[in-house]
Amino acid sequence: MPKAAAVSREATFGARSATSGPGRRAWMLGPALVAGVAYLDPGNVASNMTAGARYGYLLVWVVVLGNLIAWLVQYLSAKLGVVTGRSLPELLGTRFHRKGTRIAYWVQAELVAIATDVAEVIGGAVALQLLFGLPLVAGGVITGVVSLGLLAVQRQPRTFEFVIMGLVAVIAVGFVAGVFVAPPHPHDVVAGLVPRFDGSGSVLLAASILGATIMPHAVYAHSALARDRFALTQLPIPRLLRATRWDVSIAMAVAGAVNVCILLLAATALSGAGGTDTLEGAYAALRDGIGPVVATLFAVGLLASGLASTSVGAYAGAEIMHGLLRTGIPLLVRRAISLVPALLLLVVDADPTQALVLSQVVLSFGIPFALIPLISLTARREVLGRYRNRVLTSAAGVAASLFLIVLNGMLLVMLTAGV
């Protein structure tokens, strides 16, 4: 956005009245909690469960680091939407003057969206199979149909947020309960905070965890969610940004705690047990080792994560298409089309857990394409005016981007060399 436009928007916000009170503060929360459901999708579950089952507490530090980076990324994304009144895809669409550039960028973003759908639909299908014995293909179709119903509610943003937050509560209970039944030893948890790897397999899982934690489509979606929520608000920008920091902090605290608990549960209850590299095997091990209640809660949490995150993913995909290609298709039609790749994988009987983990690796390679433009735009005076990033904030964003790019490079070299 041109500097004059940013200043005009700030003046408009400043001229409006700013009411206060608990109700107003609660009303400002929500966009981050919706975007944050992307950090609790079945890809997270598969990556964290696999990491804990294979390597114990080794990669706890990756989950924690990923969540810290996610806080910075999601706040910057929301700030972009609040201050400019436009989403990240919209701003990129105006800056990519060549149509070919916009199309190329959209293609990579669309591949990320497809990878997201694969994880979410397969996760829901696995959960339905564990709970009710349904075939995976039937479970995938049911997950897709239910997600269509959730998207129909999206026309009423606040209702959509409440539905998603309700599913987040179910997810949290489902995945955290097992840690209270079989708590890890504090010494082991602390040891897992020391950064280190153990061969190419651990690097692969680290990239998968980061891809599942720092979701590119969540970056695109959050700027749009914040834009839509505060488009007609009467509050000044500084207050909106303070509320946004609280919103992001709450969302990331919930997501981070749940993700750590998933890994700790696997490290405590599944490490060294046979057949726990799959979600089905993990469910069986939890049922036999801790009890059917914990195993059922795990499956219910997995189902809720698939339903919630697939709806947010479809919203993000529609925003990406609209912003970059300046066109779009009805959200429900898009959702139906994007189900096809995931259902095809289920039809050909691909290994569900492996597909989930690899989908997160695809997401990790899409991170720089979302993160680098976000850091660049939020650091520009002509875009955010006096709300542009401070030097330390931009430095932290650059460091995070470099870390993710280097990690992905290491992964690519190791896989190519067959290490």
- Is the torsion defined by CA of 40, 41, 45, 46 positive or negative? negative
Taking alpha carbons only, the member of 312, 407, 387 closest to residue 76 is 387
Per-residue model confidence as pLDDT tens digits over 166-222: 888 999 999 999 999 889 999 999 999 999 988 888 888 888 788 667 888 889 999
pLDDT of residue 381: 94
> What's the token pair of residue 316?
């993000």
* pLDDT < 70 positions in the chain: 1-28, 154-155, 157, 211-212, 232, 272-277, 357, 360, 411-412, 414-419
CB atoms within 10 A of CB 386: 11
Number of DSSP helices (H) and strands (E) in the chain, helices first? 19, 0
Integer Cα distance of 273 and 270 in angstroms: 5
Integer Cα distance of 106 and 372 in angstroms: 15
Residue 337 vs residues 132, 160, 235: alpha-carbon distances, Å: 26, 21, 39
pLDDT of residue 360: 67
Task: Give the angle subtended at the CA of 319 by the CAs of 250 and 244, to the nearest 5°.
Answer: 25
* Phi, psi of 6, deg, nearest 5: -65, -40
Question: Whole-prediction pTM value?
Answer: 0.86
Per-residue model confidence as pLDDT tens digits over 339-357: 888 889 889 888 887 777 6
pLDDT of residue 137: 92
User: Up-side HSE of residue 153: CA atoms within 13 Å toward CB?
Assistant: 14
Q: Which domains does the chain have, with CATH numbers?
A: 3-417 (1.20.1740.10)
